[in-house]
Amino acid sequence: MKKSNRYMILRIIGSVFMALSGVYGLSVAGFLALRALIGEASSVIGFLNNFLHLLMLPSLILLPLFAGVALLRRRAALLLLALTQIPAALTFLQTYGGLFVPRAAAGTAAFAVLTYNIHAEQNDVSQMIAVIREADADVVAVQELSEYAAEQLAAALRELYPYQALYPGSTHPTQGQGVFSRHPIVEEEYWQNKQLQPRLGHLRVLVDANGERIAFYNTHPIHPGMTGSFYNDDGRGEEIDIVLRRAAEESVPVVILGDFNMGEWSDDYARITAQFTDVYRAAGYGLGLTFPEWSRADSLPGFRARALPLPPVLRLDYVFVSGLRPVEARVWHTAGGSDHYPLLVKLGY
User: Could you tell me which of 318, 262, 287, 260 has the C-alpha nearest to residue 40?
Assistant: 262
Coil, helix or strand at residue 187: strand
Coil, helix or strand at residue 348: strand
CA triple 114-296-156, angle to 5 deg: 45
Ramachandran angles phi, psi of 203, nearest 5°: -140, 125
Q: Give me the pLDDT at residue 300, please.
A: 53
What's the rounded Cα separation, in Å, for the pair 322 and 326?
A: 10
Q: Look up residue 133 and give its amino acid.
A: R
Q: Report whether 346 contacts 280 (CB < 8 A).
A: no
* Predicted TM-score (pTM) of this structure: 0.93
User: Could you tell me which of 14, 63, 58, 52 has the C-alpha nearest to residue 30?
Assistant: 52
- Give helix 147-157 / helix 126-135 axis angle, nearest 10°: 50
Burial class of 123 by CB neighbour count within 10 A (0 to 12, 13 to 18, 19+): exposed
Q: Give me the pLDDT at residue 307, please.
A: 65
Q: Give me the pLDDT at residue 102, please.
A: 84
Q: Give me the pLDDT at residue 230, please.
A: 82
Q: Give me the pLDDT at residue 314, please.
A: 95
Coil, helix or strand at residue 212: strand
Could you read off the pLDDT tens digit of each residue along the chain, which spans 349 residues? 566 677 788 778 878 888 899 999 999 999 999 999 998 888 999 999 999 999 999 999 999 998 988 887 778 888 888 999 999 999 999 999 999 998 776 778 899 999 999 999 998 999 999 999 999 999 999 999 999 999 999 999 999 999 999 999 988 899 999 999 999 999 999 999 988 888 899 999 999 998 999 999 999 999 998 877 789 999 999 999 999 999 999 999 999 999 999 999 999 999 999 999 999 999 999 999 999 998 765 555 555 555 667 889 999 999 999 999 999 999 999 999 999 999 999 999 9
Q: Give me the pLDDT at residue 304, please.
A: 53
- The three-state DSSP-derived secondary structure of 91-124 is HHHHHHHHHHCCCCCCCCCCEEEEEEECCCCCCC
